[in-house]
Amino acid sequence: MHPIDHYATIRRGREELLKRAEYERMARKAKAEKILSRNIHHVANRLGNHLVSLGKKLEQFGSVAHTRQSHSSHTSTRTSTL
């Protein structure tokens, strides 16, 4: 066995392991980014739904306040007859 061939084999094996490790790191990173992206979309969707619901409640409150205000202005100008 020649020492040069032995070192070349070890070096090729090490390079192959480094390539495989790099591939696995990239795969894990891509998977983590996909999960993060999906979670961000889910949170954004829930936030959007919550804001729409809150906006509807505020519109209802505003229309109720407007109705009460206009109702009180009509009753104060009315003269009562007995």
* pLDDT on residue 25: 96
Q: What's the whole-model pTM score?
A: 0.48
> Torsion angle of alpha carbons 54, 55, 61, 64, nearest 10°?
-140
What is the residue whose two structure tokens read 């409640």? 57
* pLDDT on residue 72: 54
Give the span between the Cα atoms of 40 and 33, in whole angstroms.
10
Helix, strand, coil percent values for the chain (each to nearest 5): 90, 0, 10
Give the span between the Cα atoms of 4 and 12, in whole angstroms.
12
For residue range 28-59, list pLDDT tens digits in order.
Answer: 999 999 998 989 999 999 999 999 999 999 88
Q: What does 37-60 look like in DSSP terms, one character per residue?
A: HHHHHHHHHHHHHHHHHHHHHHHH
